[in-house]
Amino acid sequence: MPHSSLASTADRSHRDRTTPVVCLDADNTLWDTDGVFAAAQLRLLANVITATGIDMAKEDRLAYVREIDQELASRHHLGLRYPARLLIAALCHRLLGDEPDVAARKTWKDPSTIPLAKEVAEEIEKQYLSDLSVAPKLLPGVRTGLERLHDADAILVLVTEGGRDRVETLLQANKIDRYIDRVIDAPKRKELFVRLRRLFGSNVPVYMIGDQITRDIQPAAEAGLRTIHVEGKFRPIWEVGASAPTTHEASTFEDAANAVLARA
Ligand SMILES: [Mg+2]
């Protein structure tokens, strides 16, 4: 992140210094990334069941995949971005009767010991990656909320760890790119938010709107931003029981935008 790119966002505005700066999370705050994952994970499970011939129909299928997914993610240095073939392997172990933690551990030891031909596993992985490449849809209230903030002259800064190109493509696909003043692709640590606050000046209210307590709310709150938590459907294992000094709890993005405009 070049320093000049941030500075130009601050300079570019010839606006009232008290109009807010609003930092936004993207995935599961603006658009339904969780919905794309859910559809892909359900198809992956269905394909593994077909390929192995082992079914357990009475289970909540999404919860069944996600239990394994979280076990793998919490053990892998890439977190939720671990390779998909590990999920296929661990699901095989699970279908064969292992508990989720045992299935994940076995997969770690040797991902190749599964009752699937290599080509079949590769085909399932290919389908999964293709399902994950579908563009997620905007969440309810996002378009209205962004419009309202934009009309109020707020500077909107999208803060993501999901890759600038991907996020810019999705902003365009959902036709909301014109509302966003700047995209910042950087780890959401306290230091980043401290820098953003310093950049816009101490008189300017700076907000952070996001769905994850540990990634969005906590570091922003520690840096002194006003934080608005929008409850998402997706709660990873590391979020359960997490809490932070949230300035405002919102049920939708529109609700969050209204809270900013009401100076929550
Ligand atoms: Mg998010």
Distance in Å, CA 16 to ligand 1 centroid: 30
| Closest of 219, 154, 204, 215 to residue 180, by C-alpha | 154
CATH, domain range 3-32+136-261: 3.40.50.1000
Q: How far apart are CA 199 and CA 9, in angstroms?
A: 9
Q: What pLDDT digit, counting tens, does each position of 73-87 carry? A: 988 888 777 899 999
Distance in Å, CA 91 to ligand 1 centroid: 26
pTM to 2 decimal places:
0.83
Q: What pLDDT digit, counting tens, does each position of 107-139 carry? A: 988 877 788 899 999 999 999 999 999 999 999
Distance in Å, CA 52 to ligand 1 centroid: 34
Tokens of 28: 């599961």
Tokens of 143: 């378009």
- Extended beta strands in 93-211, E state: 155-160, 182-185, 206-210
Distance in Å, CA 114 to ligand 1 centroid: 33
Q: What Rg do the C-alpha atoms of the chain give, in angstroms?
A: 21
Distance in Å, CA 32 to ligand 1 centroid: 9
Tell me what the pLDDT averaged over the chain comes to.
Answer: 88
Contact residues for 69 (Cβ-Cβ < 8 A; gap 6+): 41, 80, 87
Distance in Å, CA 77 to ligand 1 centroid: 19
Distance in Å, CA 27 to ligand 1 centroid: 4
CB atoms within 10 A of CB 124: 24
Domain ranges of the chain: 3-32+136-261, 34-132
Distance in Å, CA 28 to ligand 1 centroid: 5
Distance in Å, CA 121 to ligand 1 centroid: 30
Distance in Å, CA 97 to ligand 1 centroid: 33
Q: What pLDDT digit, counting tens, does each position of 51-66 carry? A: 999 987 567 899 999 9
